[in-house]
Structure 1
Amino acid sequence: MTSSEHQLTAAAPFDFGLSLRFVGGFSPTAGEQQVGSGRLVKALRVGGETVLAEVSAQGSAVDVRLTGARGDAAVEAALDRIRFFLSLDDELEDFYALADDAFRPVVERLYGYHQVKFSSPWENVAWAILSQRTPRAVAVQAKAALIERTGNLFEADGIVYPAFPDAEQVAALDDLAEVIGNVRKAGYLQGAARRWLDLSETELREAPYEEAKEQLLSLPGIGPWSSMFVLIRGLGRMDEMPTEKEFLRAAARVYGRALDEKELIQLSERYGPWRGYWAHYLRADG
């Protein structure tokens, strides 16, 4: 099978070790990749095919080995997916300059950490639906069953790497409710998949924030909280921040006192368009 070597450049500062640490502890994708010895190995869906990416880095130089990407268009799409997944273009110095006294130690601990997103915003949409009002273990099991049903597996060196199915694959399933074990969620997920096919990921990345949010809200099963979740963790749009209990606990840990939603919003105003990154750093530091 064809393999090719490539190099991407991350905006400095960049600490790939912190990216690997985050991936290793991110439960929605647990077991879907190999992380260790300074390397990330992960299967991705690109152009209707499953491709294996092996990623390592020295400073801002990010080395990528692709296996299974057939043709220049597939290679370019895979590299774009990796660059976006690892947020290599995020320039963080302006964000760091805003740090208040309580947050500055978090910046020091996470200096050079670029947010690791879901591997695609569509995967984030699907996870938002699968995990709504559902125990994490049940959602993880449903996601694994969905991957197994679509068979997006790449085997290398005796290890099987699963890739989350495309929206096209989910839209075409006639047994989705049986696969994930929930009729209501299957309806939302399949409806969202069909609607997703009419959207442009590029437009969602680049459109004015409120327009992108409105498009996400048009997806079945995606409400205000889920749309913000996808905007931050799937699209890297940092204009808003979550205010759920887990985030409140993370903020309380850093700021040394219990905070209500109003106080949290007041603290976030300092960070302007970086408030989503501020929130993510608070969570990632835990």
Structure 2
Amino acid sequence: MHEDFDRCYRAVQSKDSRFDGWFVTAVLTTKIYCRPSCPVRPPYARNMRFYPTAAAAQKAGFRACKRCRPDASPGSPEWNVRDDVVARAMRLIADGTVDREGVTGLAARVGYTTRQLERLLQTEVGANPLALARAQRAQTARVLIETTELPFSDVAFAAGFSSIRQFNDTVRVVCDLTPTALRQRARARFGPREGATGALSLRLPVRTPFAYEGLFGHLAASAVPGVEEVRDGSYRRTLRLANGNGIVSLAPQPDHVQCEIVLDDFRDLAAAIARCRRLLDLDADPEAIVDALGADPDLGVLVAKAPGQRIPRTVDEQELALRVVLGQQVSLKAARTHAGRIVAAYGQPIADAEGGLTHVFPPVADLAEIDPVHLAFPRSRQRSLNSLISAMADGTVVLDAGCDWDRARAQLMELPGIGPWTAEVIAMRGLGDPDGFPASDLGVRIAAQQLGLPADPRPLIEHSMRWRPWRSYATQHLWTALDHAVNEWPPKEK
């Protein structure tokens, strides 16, 4: 979109927040870049340039606007919709792959050479993987500077910088302020913050409309005991991260999500935020979804009733896949019970001073020799679960933030006991494919019948072709038509 100057200029003139994250606006005279919705008066068109990412603007010598904070705007929905190598790489960079595995590791994940991947990213997003990771490190540093009293040496290390000098130079370039000045501004505005212990508090921006009841209701209804809970109006869960564990508390608001994070190691902050955004599908483009699905005369009734649906996703693709198999042909309550048994037996214990969370969900490697005593369901489903565990452990099935959606479906369907329903739910909720469609799902079929749509999977799939590429969101709208706990937020007292 950044290459369409007239369209971008119109968005800036109207201060349209829907385009925040799609591109950034750079001003040649001030050397500052902004969100499209920045409240500052737009400059003359001849002094404006448009870039696809903050990293591209920074590389071109521009610094972030102190007023609209473009480096903290919602992420581009483009990387959620697309399944090409650039989109897959962008999702992996957001998850911290470059910091953990380097550019070589990132390239290997998407099946390209380092040089090929750098060329593709430079051409499309205006920055190479290192520049994109640098922009992410700068944003992580900014969050820690503004929301904690950590020493700057600890902030630099936690954000992924290799030296204090590199940290200082980057913050000055990106923010046009020293770390000390940035913290002083935050103290003047918000007061002193907590030190190294305690929760980090931040707002996760979201595009409106934001119909969060079905999203948070689904997460609450399927919460695994010990790993997830609802407390004081917030959905809370544990996180297993690269350098330690964490606990996140998420409370929805009409235009943002209030987020509290407690981490063992602050180096995991960027990945934790990225996973929370994926969990809540916060980088979706609701306007495009509403326009497409609202045009259907049958589905349009549901869309008009609650526009801005999000997909209840996951913080860990492999965890979601295991939970989907555990939930085959059983109620949500039974699926929670099955998962809770596995968590209690194999999950790593975690201390939760603010609530009742007790474990992190176990990694696949720890489930390789799972004892059948913890699998109180039919042997056929036990075989399916064990096959999935083995396939993910040895790489036969690849499920991560950057995997190819269609290849993952094909890999899953080769396993015993995994059919179209399981593969589509994993693609939709685990991998974030906006066009996943579990047509045989009982809730989808009941809701479709209530709307006068075909209830049988084959004709329903044919009808759903008019909803592409947003069938995952059509599924979420259909689920919202049901009188079910997944649509209740806050949950009813039991």
TM range (shorter): 0.7 to 0.9
Q: Distance in 1 between matches of 2:457 and 2:391?
A: 33
Are the aligned partners of 2:227 and 2:358 in contact in 1 as well (CA < 8 Å)? yes
> What percentage of residue pairs aligned between the two structures are identical?
22
Give the C-alpha shift of residue 85 in structure 1.
Answer: 0.7
Q: Distance in 2 between matches of 1:48 and 1:169?
A: 17
Give the C-alpha shift of residue 37 in structure 1.
Answer: 5.1
Give the C-alpha shift of residue 272 in structure 1.
Answer: 1.3
1:232-243 matches, cutoff 5 A: 232-243=428-439
- CA pair 222-146 structure 1, distance change in 2 beyond 3 A: same
Runs of at least 5 residues in structure 1 that lack an aligned partner in the other structure? none
Give the C-alpha shift of residue 70 in structure 1.
Answer: 0.6
Q: Distance in 1 between matches of 2:425 and 2:256?
A: 29
TM-score, length-scaled by structure 2: 0.50
Are the aligned partners of 1:121 and 1:235 in contact in 2 as well (CA < 8 Å)? yes
What letter is aligned with 2:374?
Answer: V
What letter is aligned with 1:85?
Answer: L
What letter is aligned with 1:160?
Answer: L
Give the C-alpha shift of residue 101 in structure 1.
Answer: 2.7
Give the C-alpha shift of residue 196 in structure 1.
Answer: 1.8
Q: Describe the SS at the equivalent of 1:159.
A: coil
Q: Describe the SS at the equivalent of 1:281.
A: helix
Give the C-alpha shift of residue 138 in structure 1.
Answer: 4.2
* Equivalent residue number for residue 409 of structure 2: 213
User: Does residue 1:46 correspond to 2:255, yes or no?
Assistant: no
The structure showing larger relative contact order (alpha-carbon pairs under 8 Å, at least 6 residues apart) is: 1
Q: Distance in 1 between matches of 2:468 and 2:437?
A: 11
Q: Distance in 2 between matches of 1:276 and 1:157?
A: 34
Aligned length: 278
What letter is aligned with 2:237?
Answer: K
Q: Describe the SS at the equivalent of 1:67.
A: strand
Of the three residues 280, 286, 290, the one matched with 1:86 is 280
Q: Distance in 2 between matches of 1:212 and 1:94?
A: 26
Once the two structures are superposed, residues 83-130 of structure 1 have per-residue CA deviations (whole angstroms, 9 ceiling, x without a partner) of: 111101111212211222332231133222211124422122112322
* Equivalent residue number for residue 201 of structure 1: 400
Q: Distance in 2 between matches of 1:112 and 1:43?
A: 27
Give the C-alpha shift of residue 240 in structure 1.
Answer: 3.8
Bigger strand fraction: 1
TM-score, length-scaled by structure 1: 0.83
Q: Distance in 1 between matches of 2:257 and 2:330?
A: 37
Are the aligned partners of 2:224 and 2:339 in contact in 1 as well (CA < 8 Å)? no
What letter is aligned with 1:224?
Answer: P
Once the two structures are superposed, residues 2-41 of structure 1 have per-residue CA deviations (whole angstroms, 9 ceiling, x without a partner) of: 53233322233224444323333x3364775333654222
Q: Describe the SS at the equivalent of 1:40.
A: strand
Q: Describe the SS at the equivalent of 1:203.
A: coil
* Equivalent residue number for residue 170 of structure 1: 367
1:108-257 matches, cutoff 5 A: 108-134=304-330, 137-154=333-350, 155-171=352-368, 174-181=369-376, 184-197=380-393, 198=395, 199=398, 201-204=400-403, 207=404, 209-218=405-414, 221-244=417-440, 245-253=442-450, 255-256=451-452
- CA pair 2-281 structure 1, distance change in 2 beyond 3 A: same
Tell which deviates more after alignment, 157-166 or 78-87: 157-166
Tell which deviates more after alignment, 102-111 or 155-164: 155-164
What letter is aligned with 1:63?
Answer: Q
User: Does residue 1:35 correspond to 2:230, yes or no?
Assistant: yes
Q: Distance in 1 between matches of 2:391 and 2:321?
A: 11
Q: Distance in 2 between matches of 1:200 and 1:124?
A: 10
User: Does residue 1:102 correspond to 2:298, yes or no?
Assistant: yes
Give the C-alpha shift of residue 148 in structure 1.
Answer: 0.3
1:35-74 matches, cutoff 5 A: 35=230, 38-47=233-242, 49-72=244-267, 74=268
- CA pair 219-10 structure 1, distance change in 2 beyond 3 A: farther
Structure with the greater alpha carbon radius of gyration: 2
Once the two structures are superposed, residues 258-278 of structure 1 have per-residue CA deviations (whole angstroms, 9 ceiling, x without a partner) of: 633344223312211112211
Tell which deviates more after alignment, 80-89 or 268-277: 268-277
Once the two structures are superposed, residues 162-207 of structure 1 have per-residue CA deviations (whole angstroms, 9 ceiling, x without a partner) of: 4322222223xx3421222355544443442343243351332xx3
Give the C-alpha shift of residue 63 in structure 1.
Answer: 2.9
Tell which deviates more after alignment, 96-105 or 175-184: 175-184
Q: How big is the alpha-carbon RMSD for the aligned residues of Structure 1 and Structure 2? A: 2.8
